[in-house]
Structure 1
Amino acid sequence: MIDHLGITVSDFDASKAFYDKAMAPLGGSLLYMVPQEYTGGAKVGGYGRDRPVFWLSAAREKPRDHQHVAFTARSRAEVDAFHAAALAAGGKDNGGPGLRPHYHPNYYGAFVLDPDGNNVEAVCHDPE
């Protein structure tokens, strides 16, 4: 029942460049930047397909904890394309595309670490 979520990043522009490329194969893009007069001067932007659901916020200090977020892919091919795009954008492999039957028989996912070390995943639950 998640409506939206956000993570704090140490370098907003580097993270934006990463997520611009990594989200494209999933049909996502940066949809909104909050005017900085409402954020105390921090950069805050939201990604999604039709509305912002994943938010990046510039940290006032380096984030200490790493987060995990999984994005729904509409096909296994989208998972593959996400992984390739994220690696090309400078992400680090944290588990290539493939089945993860220990979650359930059709769980097909791929994992990358973003510029801050957050574990970012694309997952498709369809049988093929």
Structure 2
Amino acid sequence: MIDHTGIGVEDVPRSAAFYDAALGALGMRRVIELRESDRLDGVGYGVDYPVFWIDRFHPHSVKQHTAFAAKSRAEVDAFYAVALRAGGTDNGAPGLRPTEKGYPAGYYAAFVLDPDGNNMEAIYRERQARS
């Protein structure tokens, strides 16, 4: 099981503005900031502790993919809308993904590219949610 993960970003303040909005729609917030003098070097997002980090220490623009769990279709929709308004680029509008393309039944997701081109996904698994 993964405890936390993260990605490198080129411009931490720019990316933090994007992630404040996108992850805020999923109930996450800035839990901690790493600073050197007045420079923002990293931000950890989560609810009680950081589970997703952005920082200037790791390589950026390597086109990673991270999927965040949503509690409902409405959260997926909100993630997508606010992420686009915060400077993200559409990479797949909210909707059920086709099982014939390998997605399990009830896979409702949206995909947005962050300012560094990383593919960020919000996903609600409808079948698992009913279990």
TM-score norm. by structure 2 comes to 0.87
Indicate whether 1:19 and 2:19 are aligned. Answer: yes
2: distance between equivalents of 1:35 and 1:117? 24
Shift of 1:125: 0.4
State the partner residue of 2:36.
Answer: 36
Distance 1:68 1:113 in 2: 9
Deviations, residues 4-54 of structure 1 (Å, cap 9, x unaligned) = 0010000001000000011111001111013538xxx77021001221100
- Does the aligned pair in 1 maintain the 2:64–2:119 contact within 8 Å? yes
Q: Distance in 1 between matches of 2:89 and 2:35?
A: 31
Pairing of 1:93-108 with structure 2 (within 5 A): 93-100=90-97, 101=99, 102-108=102-108
**In structure 2, how many angstroms separate the alpha carbons of the residues matched to 1:23 and 1:44?**
15
Q: Does 1:91 align with 2:91?
A: no
Residue ranges of structure 2 left out of the alignment (5+ in a row): none
Q: Which residue of 2 is the match for residue 82 of structure 1? A: 79
Q: Distance in 1 between matches of 2:14 and 2:40?
A: 15
RMSD across aligned C-alpha pairs, in angstroms? 1.9
Identity %: 52
The separation in 2 between residues aligned to 1:122 and 1:32, in whole angstroms, is 22
> CA separation in 1, counterparts of 2:61 and 2:78?
29
Unaligned runs of at least 5 residues, structure 1: none
- Structure 2 counterpart of 1:48: 46
- Structure 1 residues 64, 75: CA separation in 2 closer, same or farther (over 3 Å shift)? closer
Query: Hey, what's the Cα distance between the residues in 1 that align with 2:19 and 2:13?
Result: 10
